[in-house]
Amino acid sequence: MNEHNIAAIRNRAALATPMALRVAVTLGLPDRLRGGGATAEQIATEIDVSPVALELLLGHLATLGIVEHAATGYRTTDYGATLCSDADNGLTNFLHLNMAGGRAELAFVELLHSITTGHAAYARRYGHDFWTDLDRNPHLRTSFDRQMTHRFRDQIPHIVTGYDWSRFATIVDVGGGHGTVLAAILAAHPRLRGHLIDLEPTATEAAHTFAAHHVEDRTRITARSFFDPLPKGADAYLLCDILHDWDDDHAHRILARCAEAVHPTGRILIIEPVGGRAAATEFDLAMLVIFGGRERRIDEFRTLATAHGLILNAAIDLTDQRCLLELSLALTGT
């Protein structure tokens, strides 16, 4: 028996470290222990936790290099500062158990349910689906919107330059969040006008983004679900990281709304990871567990499109994480 292999698999499967990191971020330990640091007893008193248990957690965090022993107790290392709330790298949202990303990750404890049924595990854990959770808890929606904005931040330059947006006069960003992607596209193409569709209060926040990019005079914002009818007649309908959040039934409903609204010679543009091409396997599982969706492959997108009289004209690799799929009505495809 190969002891090295056993140890490697055990380390990959062990939950102690991922949960220790999540609890540390949730308790704000990397922030609190910056600078001079503090003892476990001091911190335990401040945040009302068990000092004995906190000492155990800090001991493991020291093993991981997140904190280090100091004359004052424990202090955050330069490496551990990556987990501080002002690091602006998205990790706080991903790990914090009371934010959308960290809360959603815990649905993985019900992965067996998802593999057995093909359905999301989120509702099994929390009693309702992810989107209902956001509706009921405004702080989760706020953190989710922030997470989405951060996720696209490094991708936006490639999205703007990786496709010829100048061919369009009007574009509707369906489920466009805070508008960071649409604002960047409009800023690069002064003749293009945009219309963002999303739910409140997310849609309202997009106004600040458009103003910051000085494109507010070329934008409209409508607070609406993308399951409802969309504004008709635009040259392009953009879906950024939308369809992979939904099972096939809901994906068909979203795509149907785009197909009925698009100008006869217009395009429907899907930007998201594509299975087997620009999608991480663990993220694929996350889509299943949290949303009941998946990173679809090209042939699956083609099947979705065909059901709505659409054809796939092109599949463009924008980054190592996302592709752009261009769809058009079958009678006008070129």
Cβ-count burial of 63 within 10 angstroms (0-12 exposed, 13-18 middle, 19+ buried)? exposed
Whether the CB-CB separation of 130 and 291 falls below 8 Å is answered with: yes
Sequence-distant (≥ 6) Cβ neighbours of residue 91 within 8 angstroms: 25, 82, 83
Q: Rounded to the nearest 5 degrees, what angle is found at the Cα of 263, between the Cα atoms of 257 and 269? A: 65
Distance CA 223, CA 198 (A): 5
Sequence-distant (≥ 6) Cβ neighbours of residue 199 within 8 angstroms: 223, 224, 225
Catalytic residue among 150, 189, 244, 263: 244
113 is catalytic: no
Sequence-distant (≥ 6) Cβ neighbours of residue 298 within 8 angstroms: 274, 276, 277, 312, 315, 325
Whether the CB-CB separation of 101 and 22 falls below 8 Å is answered with: no
Q: Tell me the catalytic residues.
A: 244
